[in-house]
A and B are shown apart, each in its own frame.
Chain A
Amino acid sequence: AQTVTQSQPEMSVQEAETVTLSCTYDTSESDYYLFWYKQPPSRQMILVIRQEAYKQQNATENRFSVNFQKAAKSFSLKISDSQLGDAAMYFCAYRSAVDSSYKLIFGSGTRLLVRP
């Protein structure tokens, strides 16, 4: 079974600075998707960024980028120029590309605090 591990329960960053959130996963599959979701206090999960395992190029979305290391099964999220609105819970998630369940498997989350 696949698992997702986020070893940082909480991270803190100064506004305008850069922070990296860590995520590791375990799978025997070669084809899959990885995601970072943001969950603010409103509880609505918002997709931040997505990475297809077959793509070697790291995904980027404006201030958000990932460092995808397939061999190491590592998928970290870098937030540049942090803003107060980035404060939230961040969840790393895995989804198989071969399993028809389409189930997202989430890590336990990292709470990001942004200091003004």
Chain B
Amino acid sequence: EAGVVQSPRYKIIEKKQPVAFWCNPISGHNTLYWYLQNLGQGPELLIRYENEEAVDDSQLPKDRFSAERLKGVDSTLKIQPAELGDSAVYLCASSSLGPEQQYFGPGTRLTVL
């Protein structure tokens, strides 16, 4: 069974540019999470989807961050415009239903210059 897939693995952009990250969860997993991991810290939840509905986006900075999960499968996280402080690892995770074990992808390391 394929795990959570994320792309790209690395992204380097200049500040004020837009950037997008893509996540494909494990097949059949209804719940999808995006986490932000700053250097030297543990991940922090940005947004959680149940199928195509964002049920917890309280930690998502909505002025520059947006996310979507069309058709309840793949998800995209976007930053526009990126700032220097957005340099971090963005992790995607999925679970079969709500509180079941979360499986993580390899993350996207973003560097904003």
Binding site for B on A (CB under 8 A): 4, 37, 42-47, 50, 91, 93, 95, 97, 100-104, 106-109
Contact = CB atoms under 8 A, between A and B. Distances in A.
Given A45-B43, A45-B91, A109-B41, A104 B107 contact: no
By DSSP majority rule, is chain A's interface helix, strand, loop, or mixed? Answer: loop
Contacts of B101: 47, 50
B48 A93 contact: no
Contacts of A42: 106
B106 A4 contact: no
B56 interface: yes
Nearest to A46: B104
A45 B104 contact: yes
A106 B33 CA distance: 14
Given A43-B107, A45-B104, A109 B95 contact: no
A43 B56 contact: no
B40 A109 contact: yes
B44 A102 contact: no
